[in-house]
């Protein structure tokens, strides 16, 4: 896995059986480590499917706000500026202009 996993977004499937968080495995969302509590669940021939959402900047927040802007000085007293806000959420994205 990777750092910055969105809490409770993971889905762990072993041999077509969905594992349950806390009873079958625990996840450290900040550093991206999954620990299976009962290792006998996974066999040498097991098929594992792990899916999850993550935040681009490693935060546990449900969304990430990105701001970009620019400024053009036309004269000493006149300038043009713009800002773009991009709200990134797991599964959704909203562009605010």
Q: Tell me the per-residue pLDDT of 65-91, one tens digit each, with 9 for 90 and over.
A: 778 888 888 988 888 888 888 776 655
Q: Exposed e or buried b for every residue in 6-17, given b needs 16+ CB within 10 A?
A: bbebbebebeee
Residue given tokens 């910055």 in the structure block? 4
35 and 67 inside one domain: no
68 and 46 inside one domain: no
In a domain, 84, yes or no: yes
- The pLDDT of residue 18 is 92
47 and 78 inside one domain: no
Q: How many CB atoms lie within 10 A of CB 5?
A: 24
25 and 45 inside one domain: yes
Residue 22 has pLDDT above 80, yes or no: yes
Residue 40, φ and ψ in degrees, nearest 5 = -70, -15
Structural domain containing residue 31: 11-51
18 and 40 inside one domain: yes
In a domain, 86, yes or no: yes
Each residue's pLDDT tens digit, 39-63: 888 888 988 888 888 766 555 556 6
In a domain, 85, yes or no: yes
Count of domains in the chain?
Answer: 2
20 and 44 inside one domain: yes
16 and 40 inside one domain: yes
């Amino acid at each position: 896995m990777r750092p910055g996993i969105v809490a409770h977004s993971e889905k762990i499937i072993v041999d077509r059986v969905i594992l349950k968080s806390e009873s079958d495995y625990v996840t450290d969302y900040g550093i991206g480590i999954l620990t299976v509590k009962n290792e006998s669940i996974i066999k040498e021939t097991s098929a594992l499917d792990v899916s999850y959402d993550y935040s681009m900047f490693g935060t546990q927040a449900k969304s990430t706000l990105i701001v970009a802007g620019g400024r053009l000085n036309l004269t000493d007293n006149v300038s043009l500026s713009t800002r773009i806000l991009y709200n990134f959420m797991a599964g959704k994205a909203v562009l605010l202009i």
